[in-house]
């Protein structure tokens, strides 16, 4: 993984983009986007996460196994969230038999 030594410029560019995105997400929060607000906020957060992971954590130079591990972890968090929300969001949708 450390066979690739990235340049300081690469890291600095990523850093500046991250700072810009932080400013952007803060500014956008003051705009009324309704339900779309959370989509924008999470999208920016995911982009920031990808930048940190790919460049600072060297995932873009990493082995397939490392990437599988990362994807797996995120997928499992997704399972926890999705299946639980599938309950919370459908309560009362189908009535309980007999009631």
Footprint of other proteins on this chain (CB under 8 A)?
1-2, 5-6, 8, 11-12, 14-15, 18-19, 22-23, 25-26, 29-33, 37-38, 41-42, 44-45, 48-49, 52-53, 55-57, 65-66, 69-70, 72-74, 76-77, 79-81, 83-97
Alpha-carbon distance of 81 to 73, in angstroms, equals 13
Q: 63 phi and psi, to 5 degrees?
A: -75, 165
Cβ 75 to other proteins, closest distance in Å?
10
The minimum distance between CB 41 and other proteins, in angstroms, equals 4
37 three-class SS: helix
Q: How many Å from the N-terminal Cα to the C-terminal Cα in the chain?
A: 60
């Amino acid at each position: 993984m450390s066979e690739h030594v990235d340049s300081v410029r690469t890291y600095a560019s990523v850093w500046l983009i991250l700072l810009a995105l932080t400013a952007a997400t803060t500014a956008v929060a003051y705009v009324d986007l309704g339900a779309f607000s959370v989509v924008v906020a999470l999208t920016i957060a995911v982009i920031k996460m990808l930048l940190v992971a790919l460049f600072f954590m060297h995932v873009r130079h990493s082995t397939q196994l490392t990437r599988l591990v990362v994807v797996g972890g995120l997928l499992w968090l997704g399972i926890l969230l999705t299946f639980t929300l599938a309950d919370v969001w459908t309560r009362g949708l189908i009535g309980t038999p007999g009631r």
